[in-house]
């Protein structure tokens, strides 16, 4: 059975495609590409059909990650097929939980940085869109920091399914 994870930010051109690329790489390194599907979307459809922001692509490329991406908007119907919906900040978390058709599906929504023990109380990944390149680098650091904990949680869920 496939475990499905979807990362969600505002427009699906900066943070969520970055998280998707980094997490897909971690899943690949763990040898789990055949068991874990990684995706991303935005809470809004402003950028549907567009590639990731060029600064996102540049930072990902410089750090050895793939960056093939087409933006799209998250749909409430997706909850039924997803195992985890990963919000990049508290605003996305609230919006996604409101979209969830049931309480059970709302519990699938988690903040990315909640998987990073070093994150402390600040669990938001700031939107780098209106700033400079350093914001995209900071975003990547936060995403990488949370990816190991997220991978551990996904592994645990996969092992639970196999039992």
Higher pLDDT, 107 or 162: 107
Using an 8 Å Cβ cutoff, are 39 and 73 in contact?
no
pTM given for the model? 0.97
pLDDT tens digit sequence for 83-128: 999 999 999 999 999 999 999 999 999 999 999 999 999 999 999 9
Q: Is 7 helix (H, G, I), strand (E, B) or coil?
A: strand
Rounded Cα distance, 93 and 87, in Å: 5
Positions marked catalytic: 9, 15, 127
Judged by phi (left if over 0) then psi (alpha if -120 to 50, else beta), residue 31 lies in: left
Q: What is the pLDDT of residues 37-67, one digit of tens each?
A: 999 999 999 999 999 999 999 999 999 998 8
What are the E-state strand segments in 54-138?
84-87, 109-111
Q: Give the pLDDT of residue 66.
A: 87
DSSP 119: G
pLDDT digits (tens, 9 = 90+) for 125-160: 999 999 999 999 999 999 999 999 999 999 999 998
Please give the pLDDT value at position 12.
Answer: 98
State the first-to-last Cα distance of the chain, in angstroms, to the nearest integer.
Answer: 12
pLDDT score of 19 more than 70: yes
Check residue 163 and give its pLDDT: 47
Give the residue among 12, 8, 19 at the shortest CA–CA distance from 144: 19
**All domains in the chain, ordered by first residue:** 3-162 (3.40.50.2300)
DSSP class of residue 63 equals T
């Amino acid at each position: 059975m496939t475990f499905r994870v979807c990362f969600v930010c505002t427009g699906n051109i900066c943070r969520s495609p970055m998280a998707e690329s980094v997490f897909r790489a971690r899943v690949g390194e763990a040898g789990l590409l055949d068991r874990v599907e990684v995706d991303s979307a935005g809470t809004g459809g402003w950028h549907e059909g567009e590639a990731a922001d060029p600064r996102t692509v540049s930072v990902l490329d410089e750090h050895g990650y793939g960056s093939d991406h087409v933006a799209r908007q998250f749909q409430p119907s997706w909850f039924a097929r997803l195992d985890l919906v990963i919000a990049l900040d508290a605003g996305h978390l609230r919006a996604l939980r409101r979209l969830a058709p049931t309480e059970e599906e709302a519990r699938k929504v988690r903040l990315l940085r909640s998987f990073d023990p070093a994150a402390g109380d600040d669990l938001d990944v700031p939107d780098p869109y209106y700033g400079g390149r350093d914001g995209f680098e900071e975003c990547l650091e936060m995403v990488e920091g949370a990816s190991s904990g997220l991978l551990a949680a996904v592994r645990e869920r996969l092992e639970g399914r196999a039992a």
